[in-house]
């Protein structure tokens, strides 16, 4: 039963990490109006960091490491997914260009 609890808390850590990253993206998203929107951005960052600290405190010592590992694991998982997606997009784009070039070469003038 403890293994299931650790898995669930690990996934909870990943879910909270998604929200923390999204809160930090608020800086980029609202950069054009950061002079007026910085309180909102700071509130979002502080709220989600506070929620993650509160959850880490409340889950207890047995599950705390699982929660923190879930949060820490999300960052390389996020970055790896970004680069994998970029490589797939670039591959498909190059493949599409090759098909277009072949079609243009085969057309009679």
Give domain limits for the chain. 2-106
HEC profile of 24-36: HHHHHHCHHHHHH
**Which of the given ranges, 33-37, 64-68, 76-80, has the highest pLDDT on average?**
64-68
- Taking every pair of C-alpha atoms in the chain, what is the biggest distance, in angstroms? 75
Is this structure's pTM higher than 0.85?
A: no
* pLDDT score, position 34: 86
């Amino acid at each position: 039963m403890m293994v299931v609890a650790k898995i669930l808390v690990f996934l909870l850590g990943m879910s909270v990490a998604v929200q923390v990253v999204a809160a930090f993206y608020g800086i980029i998203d609202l950069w054009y109006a950061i002079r007026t929107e910085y309180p909102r951005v700071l509130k979002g960052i502080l709220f989600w960091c506070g929620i993650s600290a509160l959850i880490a405190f409340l889950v207890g010592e047995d599950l705390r490491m699982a929660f923190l590992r879930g949060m820490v694991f999300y960052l390389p998982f996020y970055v790896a997914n970004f680069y994998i997606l970029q490589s797939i997009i670039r591959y498909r784009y190059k493949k599409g260009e090759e098909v277009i070039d072949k079609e243009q070469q085969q057309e009679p003038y």
